[in-house]
Amino acid sequence: MGLLTNLYNKVAKFFRQQEGAAEDEASKSVATSRLKLVLMQDRTNLTPKILEQMRGELVDLLSKYLEMDKDLLELNFEQEGDQVALMLSIPVIRAKDEDEIEEALSVQRNSEDESVETDDLSDEEEKEEEYIESIDSEDDSEGIGEETEESSSEIDENESNLVSEVNEGKKSKKSSKKNNEEYIESIDT
Amino acid sequence: MTGRVIVITSGKGGVGKTTTSANIGTALAKEGYKVVLIDTDLGLRNLDLLLGLENRIVYTIVDVIEERCKLKQALVKDKKNPNLSLLAAAQTRDKSAVNAEQLKEICEKLKEKNDFVLVDCPAGIEQGFQNAVAGASEAIVVTTPEMSAIRDADRIIGLLNTKEEITSTRLLLNRVRPNLIKNNEMMSVDDVVGILEIPLIGIIPEDTGIITSTNKGEPIVNDENSLAGQAYRNVAKRILGEEVPFLDLDEPKGFMAKIKDVFAKLKAKV
């Protein structure tokens, strides 16, 4: 009897190992994707936060014109010689028609006007925090890209969010540009 | 004669720079070329050990620079192959004993009388690296399929790209373990090349024979039966411009592996 259970255990273990091998598939791809991200930072001197922000803004910008699979967006810096190229790969589902684009642009214009009116230093800090939260959680229903697709009645509610995004956008552009310049300098020396 | 000066570098330590230098040097010498190996790892010299020449070193690179001997006197001939010689690093000095200009000058002199000058670079990206690279026109970046080694290799590749004198930078992937790659537990050759994006010059399988060959002070390329030795001989041929296919590292499947495959397929169907 003992012999039989022993045998059974061995056979069971054999098949468990087979399953385990399939699960380990993650280990290598985890390494590859972690490495890709860290190299992107190394090559550009951009912090993960700024990279994520840049990615969010790119999605924001592009979704005015295109409907796309945001989850599959790939952002990569490739180094050739002493130059770094930004490679963006994103599956396009369809191009938006003119009305939709016009609508998305008008939302942006409204929010820009709004931002001029409500420009208030004490408020701004709060909004920045809001913005960072919204990019940190991927599935957030207030996610950047989706807003342009929502009906105009809902837009008013989201406007304050958009305002802060636009504000933040200007800042981050400045800071990422500065970082790039730093990087180029470091190469030259 | 104007020889080629190739620096062997990696960024991270312990990935096999020195082993690679010893083996490629020996393999090129076996092909009939005159080769000098320079150990630039001042204070941490090891190339002499891997070649089994540690007892023959009288003068070092620092003695040459400080003019206590002539360059020719400091070159130690290999025991087996008179085509191969070593310029050893000083063990009692640190990296500041030498500067880039001096190393460049030594490389210039050596390439007049040799086909190949291989420079074994120390780990890191500081002065030692700058020195080792100074006289070279080609680079071989050694890495293993591990994240930390690949990250450091990427950094080194970035630095090499800024050097105008370096016209070719190629990748040598060391300590590859095919069975781990097969189970997706290790990054594959394609993964690494895809990330680093430089041409590949060799894939060296993990080989326990490396340990015994180091113990004996005899590079593994001298062992005709070793897979790693074969891989290093192929690297030497590629340096010489021959097109040699990369070794197929997939071991033939055993009986049990085949049975496992059958069950895995059956399971997938269910």
What span, in angstroms and rounded, lies between the C-alpha atoms of A61 and A96? 13
Residue count of chain A, please give it. 189
CB pair distance less than 8 Å for B186 and A21: no
Longest Cα–Cα distance in chain A:
84
Q: Considering chain B, what is the average pLDDT of its residues? A: 92
Domain that holds residue B208: 4-269
Burial B118-146 (b: 16+ CB within 10 A, else e): bbbbbbbeebbbbbbbbbbbbbbbbbbbb
Distance CA A10, CA A134 (A): 50
Lowest-pLDDT range of A72-86, B67-81, B86-100, B162-176: A72-86
pLDDT of B138 > 60? The answer is yes
Q: Which of A10, A14, A29, A32 to mutate to test the interface with B (most CBs of B within 10 A)?
A: A32
> Half-sphere exposure (CA, 13 Å, Cβ side) for A43?
27
Query: What element of type H or E holds B215?
Result: helix B209-216
Statement: residue B30 has pLDDT above 50:
yes
Q: What is the pLDDT of residue A121?
A: 46
User: pLDDT at residue B210 above 50?
Assistant: yes
Give chain B's domain count.
1
Query: CB-CB: which of A28, A36, A42 is closest to B186?
Result: A28
Q: pLDDT tens digit string along A58-93? A: 888 888 888 888 877 777 777 665 667 788 888 888
> How high is the pLDDT of residue B63?
95
Q: Is A105 on the interface with B (CB under 8 A)?
A: no
Lowest mean pLDDT: which of A16-20, A100-104, B255-259? A16-20
- Contact across the interface for A18 and B263, Cβ inside 8 Å: yes
Residues 6+ away with beta carbon under 8 Å from B128: B40, B41, B42, B95, B121, B122
Q: Give the least confident one: A1-10, B12-21, B89-98, B157-166.
A: A1-10
Q: Check residue A163 and give its pLDDT.
A: 37
pLDDT at B268 over 90: no
Q: Which among A32, A36, A43 has the least Cβ separation from residue B158?
A: A43
- Taking each continuous run of H as one helix and of E as one strand, the counts in chain B are 12, 8
Q: Which residues of A touch B263 (CB under 8 A)?
A: 15, 18
Whether pLDDT at A185 is above 90: no
Q: What is the pLDDT of residue B139?
A: 98
Q: Considering chain A, what is the average pLDDT of its residues?
A: 63
CATH code where residue B29 lies: 3.40.50.300
Is residue A119's pLDDT more than 60?
no
pLDDT on residue B207: 94
| pLDDT number for residue B270 | 57
Query: Is residue A169 predicted with pLDDT exceeding 80?
Result: no
Check whether B29 has a pLDDT greater than 70.
yes
Residue A130 pLDDT exceeds 60 = no
Decide which of B156 and A7 is more confident. B156
The arithmetic mean of pLDDT across residues A110-126, rounded, is 55
Residue range A48-65: average pLDDT?
Answer: 85
| pLDDT score, position B232 | 97
**Cβ separation of B195 and A21 shorter than 8 Å?**
no
pLDDT of residue A33: 83
- Residue A28 has its nearest CB partner, among B158, B187, B195, at B187
Q: Which of A24-33, B35-44, B183-192: highest mean pLDDT?
A: B35-44
* Separation in Å, CA of B187 to nearest CA in chain A: 6
Rounded CA-CA distance B210/B15 in Å is 13
Among the partner residues A31, A36, A42, nearest to B155 by beta-carbon distance = A42
CA distance B58 to B77: 12
Considering only CB atoms, A31 lies closest to which of B183, B187, B260, namely B187
With contact defined as beta carbons under 8 Å apart, do B37 and B21 qualify? yes
The C-alpha atoms of residue B162 and residue B158 are separated, in whole angstroms, by 7
Task: Give percent of chain A above pLDDT 70.
Answer: 46
Which range is least confidently modeled, A144-148, B48-52, B149-153, B185-189?
Answer: A144-148
Sequence-distant (6+) residues with CB within 8 A of B174 are: B15, B16, B19, B20, B142, B143, B144, B204
Residue A126 has pLDDT above 50, yes or no: no
Chain A nearest C-alpha distance from B183 (Å): 6
Instruction: Please report the pLDDT score of residue A172 as a whole number.
Output: 40
Q: How high is the pLDDT of residue A76?
A: 76
Cβ separation of A27 and B184 shorter than 8 Å? yes
Q: Residue B88: what pLDDT?
A: 96
pLDDT of residue A168 exceeding 80, the answer is no
Which range, of A140-144, B3-7, B215-219, B257-261, averages the lowest pLDDT? A140-144
Distance CA A38, CA A48 (A): 9
Is the predicted pLDDT of residue A153 greater than 50, yes or no? no
Average pLDDT over every residue of A111-137: 50
How many residue contacts between A and B have a Cβ separation below 8 Å?
Answer: 54
pLDDT of residue B227 exceeding 50: yes
Contacts of A24 in chain B (CB under 8 A): 183-185
pLDDT, average across residues B239-250: 88
Q: Are B4 and B138 in contact (CB under 8 A)?
A: yes
Residue (of B153, B164, B176) closest to B228 by Cα position: B176
Cα B144 from Cα B205, distance rounded (Å)? 10
State whether A35 and B185 contact (CB < 8 Å): no
What is the mean pLDDT of the segment spanning B229-238?
97
Mean pLDDT calculated for residue range B44-63: 94
Alpha-carbon distance A170 to nearest alpha carbon in chain B (angstroms): 30
* Interchain CB distance below 8 Å, B195 and A36: yes
